[in-house]
Amino acid sequence: MIFVATTADNDHAMAWYLLREGAPFRRTIVPITYDDLLAAPGLPRATYVFADLELLAEPQRDEATALWERLAAQGSRLLNHPTRTLRRHDLLRALHDSGRNCFAAHRATDDLGAVRFPVFLRGEDDHDGRRSDLLTDATSLHAALDDLSAHDRARMLVVEFCDTADTRGVYRKYAAFMVGDTVIARHLMCSTDWQVKEADLLDADLLREELEYVERAPHERELREIFALARVDYGRVDYSLLDGTLQVWEINTNPTLVMPTYDPKRPRTPVRNRFTERLAPCWTALDQRT
């Protein structure tokens, strides 16, 4: 069995997958909240995915770490360590310090004297995207920070802008999963917005480019190195390319696998189908029976 633990307020990702494409694994994959996992009087020897680490409260993180040690001692297979897996700030700092990312991320409470403008604000432990427009100088940055409560400022990142647009002004956001030992290219979204939240450019050439990306998974070697640096065994990395070099935006440890709606006539459906075809053997490989 494979237990996938998430916070109670963010438990939809695996449920959506199990509705349709993941239906054959309904007896294999068990979504469970951290509340229920940590309260369980006994747990079988199985595979446990510690997902949603970005949203895990510190007291639960400590409890989850203790549970990890107990499960490891009984021989369970464990993915994503609650404390050793790097979260957003530490990951972006490690990628910049190692020369992989050309941009840096700073906590809003840090000394911001060395920040390279323009920058934008985003939360350290949420998936809400940017919290500001591009801020071009120290005056606009400090004005934006002054508008925050002390609580919000303590959880805010100042991220240096990295312009990855091509000559036509198209921004590309690549996404790939790590599932156990397997890297799977998920999608390529294209947009004229520098924060690519939706694939709002769907011309034939870009659709072919996306399908070629998921078929070829051209960045597998680099992605394995990045997942290893982050100590992530299950999650999705979002990244772009700058002059051929990967620029990583984040790794989400409770990513959406598929949206709940399915329409075979939608232009990006072949990409979804290819991803789920490659995902299925990963669950079989991870399944650990008692």
Q: Looking at the domain assignment, is residue 211 inside a domain?
A: yes
Q: Are residues 191 and 275 in the same domain?
A: yes
d(C-alpha 133, C-alpha 53), whole Å? 27
Q: Which amino acid is at 70?
A: R
Mean pLDDT value across residues 3-26: 97
Q: Are residues 233 and 268 in the same domain?
A: yes
Q: Looking at the domain assignment, is residue 219 inside a domain?
A: yes
Range of the domain at 115: 104-160
| Domains identified in the chain, total number | 3
Q: Are residues 186 and 279 in the same domain?
A: yes
- Structure tokens that stand for 30 in this block: 């068990």
Q: Are residues 257 and 201 in the same domain?
A: yes
Q: Are residues 21 and 67 in the same domain?
A: yes
Neighbouring CB atoms inside 10 A of 120's CB total 20
d(C-alpha 153, C-alpha 155), whole Å? 5
User: For residue range 182-198, what is the model confidence (pLDDT) as tens digits?
Assistant: 999 999 999 999 999 99
pTM: 0.96
Q: H-helix or E-strand containing 247?
A: strand 245-252
Q: Looking at the domain assignment, is residue 15 inside a domain?
A: yes
Q: Looking at the domain assignment, is residue 248 inside a domain?
A: yes
Q: Are residues 179 and 269 in the same domain?
A: yes
Mean pLDDT value across residues 200-210: 96
HSE-CB of 46 using CA atoms within 13 angstroms: 16
Nearest partner of 184 among 84, 283, 77, 79, judged by Cα: 283
Nearest partner of 92 among 210, 229, 287, 261, judged by Cα: 229
d(C-alpha 154, C-alpha 124), whole Å? 9
Q: Is the peptide bond before 118 cis (omega within 30 degrees of 0)?
A: yes
d(C-alpha 114, C-alpha 70), whole Å? 44
H-assigned helices in the chain: 12-19, 34-39, 58-73, 88-97, 138-146, 150-154, 204-216, 220-230, 269-286
State residue 126's pLDDT score.
Answer: 85
Mean pLDDT value across residues 129-158: 95
Per the listing, tokens 């934006």 go with 144
Q: Are residues 142 and 184 in the same domain?
A: no
Q: Looking at the domain assignment, is residue 61 inside a domain?
A: yes
The DSSP result for 143-194, as a single string, is: HHHHTS-HHHHHTEEEEE------TTS-EEEEEEEEETTEEEEEEEEEESSS
Mean pLDDT value across residues 62-84: 97
- Tell me, what CATH number does 212's domain have? 3.30.470
Q: Are residues 253 and 201 in the same domain?
A: yes
Domain boundary, last residue among 160, 180, 200: 160
Q: Are residues 156 and 188 in the same domain?
A: no
State residue 289's pLDDT score.
Answer: 60
Length of the chain: 290
- What percentage of the chain reaches a pLDDT higher than 90? 97
Q: Looking at the domain assignment, is residue 96 inside a domain?
A: no
Q: Are residues 189 and 259 in the same domain?
A: yes
Q: Are residues 43 and 137 in the same domain?
A: no
User: For residue range 105-119, what is the model confidence (pLDDT) as tens digits?
Assistant: 999 999 999 999 999
8 Å CB contact between 241 and 172 = yes
User: For residue range 227-284, what is the model confidence (pLDDT) as tens digits?
Assistant: 999 999 999 999 999 999 999 999 999 999 999 999 999 999 999 999 999 999 999 9
Q: Examine the pLDDT at 135 and tell me if it is beyond 50.
A: yes
- The C-alpha angle with vertex 225 and arms to 220 and 227, in degrees rounded to 5, equals 90
User: For residue range 80-105, what is the model confidence (pLDDT) as tens digits?
Assistant: 999 999 999 999 999 999 999 999 99
8 Å CB contact between 141 and 115 = yes
Q: Are residues 147 and 63 in the same domain?
A: no
Q: H-helix or E-strand containing 250?
A: strand 245-252
Q: Looking at the domain assignment, is residue 194 inside a domain?
A: yes
Q: Examine the pLDDT at 290 and tell me if it is beyond 50.
A: no
Q: Looking at the domain assignment, is residue 91 inside a domain?
A: no
Mean pLDDT value across residues 284-289: 86
